[in-house]
Amino acid sequence: MTTLSRFFYRFFPAILALLVAWPTYAAFTDNNDGTITDTVTGLTWDQCSWGLSGAGCAAGAASLHTWTQALGVAVAANGASHKGRNDWRLPSKNELESLVKIDAYAPAIDTTAFPGTMSDLYWSSTNFASNPADAWFVFFYDGSTDAYVKSSTYYVRLVRGGQLFDSFDSLVVTSYTAPSATGTGNITASFSGGGPGCGYTVSQFIPLTGHGASPPAGSAPAGVSFPHGLFDFTTGGCTPGSTITLVVTYPQALPAGTVYWKYGPTPTDGSYHWYQLPAVIAGNTATFSITDGGLGDDDLTANGTIVDQGGPGVPGGAASIPTLSEWAMLMLAGLMGLFGVSAMRRRGA
């Protein structure tokens, strides 16, 4: 046995015991006001999951929220100056992941700094890039991450301050490109405005009828066709009452007389109906603006969410081709048969 081997076998148990007993570096500072500051990232966190409060986060019950509702939690917290601050936000994926404690399990977090944390899923503000209908979450049972549909209900923890991760995380999606539902080609729908957190939570190109989100069959305006189908979308995380401006680019130029039609309620008529949304149609683009809670927003509420469905309608929709009834077809077939028999007899004469 070499000298190195003898040293290893003699001192390894003591070295191992020292490593196990070595305290984990604590990056968190308790501000004694219900918030925790991470001295490494500069982020200040709500010590309690949303719904919990008090010493040790022992009061109340942690509440579940859809992704859109989770964004709304931050809005509500700021309106109420939650814990003396009004700049709370839903953390990005990378920000939320920074809380994961790699040597902890169920929950995978520093429970001294964050007592009462659920061993469950917590929403981040980060959209799933390949499908805006999904968003990222962190599973604090084991610290893993994944993305799932935004209508799911998960827990919420708010954060403020330190913009360390912003350059690494795309927080919002403001542009969507996909094939039209009618096969005319790719359509791009982009928007600006609405505030820094405003982005698509739903974006899809749908046919006039036949899709789960399509308007009722037969309800479309008379004499109007929709060659590119409809654009169905929802934005979330917007500043309540703000205005967004959309530019929808179609694969071909829109014909003269094209109007952007919308299906939904209006401030003067709460029932779902077709109406013309003011828009600028130029070449292959349609440009229009919608104010949260105003004309074009189906929920008619200034709540930071805009719901819309519509598309360019072309006047003089395709006329129906006259067809013969079943009896007329039989009569026509019979006449053709008689002519055929007559012709054969003349040839045989």
Of 110, 135, 168, at which residue does a domain stop?
A: 168
**The model's pTM:** 0.49
256, 214: one domain = yes
CA 308 – CA 230 distance, rounded (Å): 10
Angle at 332 between CA 331 and CA 336, to 5 degrees: 115
Count the domains in the chain. Answer: 2
Q: Which residues touch 289 (CB under 8 Å, ≥6 apart)?
A: 193, 243, 244, 245, 246
- In the three-class reduction of DSSP (H, G, I as helix; E, B as strand; rest coil), residue 58 is classed as coil
Residues 146 and 34 in one domain: yes
Using CA atoms, how far residue 136 sits from 92, 101, 165, 253, 280, in Å, is 9, 18, 15, 37, 36
For residues 139 and 34, membership in a common domain is answered with: yes
Is residue 333 one of the residues assigned to a domain? no
In a domain, 342, yes or no: no
Identify whether residues 54 and 110 lie together within a single domain.
yes
Query: 3-class SS at 167?
Result: helix
Assess if residue 190 is contained within a domain.
Answer: yes
Nearest to 72 by CA among 225, 211, 238: 238
Residue 59 is part of a domain; what is its CATH number? 3.10.100
Q: Which residue type occupies 52? A: L
What domain range is 201 assigned to? 175-315
Distance in angstroms (rounded) separating the CA atoms of residues 341 and 338: 5
For the chain, what is the radius of gyration of the CA atoms? 31
Shared domain check, 187 and 164 = no
In a domain, 329, yes or no: no
Query: Do the domain assignments include residue 103?
Result: yes
Tell me, yes or no, whether 258 and 237 share the same domain.
yes
Residues found in the chain: 349
List per-residue pLDDT tens for the chain, 349 residues long.
555 455 444 555 444 444 433 344 447 999 999 999 998 888 999 999 999 999 999 999 999 999 989 999 999 999 999 999 999 999 989 899 999 998 899 999 999 999 999 999 999 988 887 777 889 999 999 999 999 999 999 999 999 986 545 444 444 689 989 999 999 999 999 999 998 878 887 889 999 999 988 999 999 999 999 999 999 999 888 889 999 999 999 999 999 999 999 999 999 999 999 999 999 999 999 999 999 999 999 999 998 889 999 999 999 754 333 334 444 445 555 556 555 545 555 555 5
Check if the beta carbon of residue 274 is closer than 8 Å to that of residue 221. Answer: yes
Is residue 213 in some structural domain?
yes
Shared-domain flag, residues 83 and 186: no
Last residue of a domain, one of 151, 168, 185: 168
In a domain, 8, yes or no: no
Answer yes or no: do 139 and 118 share one domain: yes
Same domain, 77 and 201: no
Last residue of a domain, one of 168, 187, 205: 168
- DSSP track, 18-36: HHHHSPPPP-EEE-SSSEE
Sign of the torsion angle spanned by Cα atoms 287, 293, 296, 299? positive
Same domain as 205, residue 164: no
Residue 247 lies in a domain: yes
**Whether residue 37 is found in the same domain as residue 154:** yes
Same domain, 311 and 208: yes
